[in-house]
């Protein structure tokens, strides 16, 4: 991990830990809304449960849309550009333009929010890994990909990822 990555990550985990906790609460509320459980039906297979019994969904939109809604409802979506600016400053850089709560600066993905800033040293990418993607041979999606989305780690230390690419 480079010094700018370390500084940015430490800033998020120390100075903005409450924001990370709020993101975790939003993710928990999203997962509580999934009603398809961790299998495709009762006793559908004798295969091991890849989700560990956690609520899950095979539908990406069942992650992204409710998460976007939760982020808007809590006011976090509008605050994420400021969080990006502060994180860039903590990493020792400055932004040329004010970020907005939309791509390319802020994106709500099936894993969680991703913040991006283009800097002279490269692209700073901050990911909040709120959801995990689990391979599941029993899952079926229209596109043929066999994965499930499950609630990820609950520990802020494991959720925050910072990369300078």
Q: Which DSSP symbol is given to 51?
A: T
Read off the pLDDT of residues 119-137 as tens digits, 9 standing for 90 and up. 999 999 999 999 999 887 7
CA 79/CA 74 separation, integer angstroms? 10
Instruction: Round the average pLDDT of the chain to a whole number and report it.
Output: 88
Total Cβ atoms within 10 A of residue 98: 10
Read off the pLDDT of residues 38-92 as tens digits, 9 standing for 90 and up. 433 333 334 445 556 678 898 899 999 999 999 999 999 999 999 999 999 999 9
User: For residue 124, what are the CA distances in angstroms to 36, 80, 105?
Assistant: 36, 14, 10
pLDDT at 90: 98
138 vs 134, more confident = 134
CA 38/CA 146 separation, integer angstroms? 13
pLDDT at 165: 94
pLDDT at 35: 72
Nearest C-alpha neighbor of 102 from the set 72, 70, 63, 122: 72
Compute φ and ψ for 115, nearest 5 degrees. -110, 135
Q: Which DSSP symbol is given to 37?
A: T
- Domain layout of the chain by residue ranges: 3-38+51-164
């Amino acid at each position: 991990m480079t010094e700018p990555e370390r500084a940015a990550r430490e800033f998020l985990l120390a100075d903005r830990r409450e924001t990370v906790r709020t993101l975790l609460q939003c993710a928990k509320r999203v997962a509580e809304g999934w009603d398809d459980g961790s299998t495709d039906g009762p006793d559908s297979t004798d295969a091991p449960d890849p989700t560990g019994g956690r609520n899950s969904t095979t539908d990406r939109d069942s992650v992204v849309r409710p998460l976007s809604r939760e982020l808007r409802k809590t006011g976090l979506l509008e605050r994420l550009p400021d969080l990006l600016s502060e994180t860039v400053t903590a990493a020792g850089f400055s932004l040329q333009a004010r970020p907005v709560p939309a791509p390319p600066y802020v994106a709500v993905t099936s894993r969680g929010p991703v913040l991006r800033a283009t800097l002279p040293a490269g692209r700073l990418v901050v990911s909040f890994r709120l959801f995990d993607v689990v391979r599941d041979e029993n899952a079926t999606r229209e596109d043929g990909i066999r994965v499930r989305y499950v609630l990820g780690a609950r520990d802020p230390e494991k959720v925050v990822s910072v990369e300078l690419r």
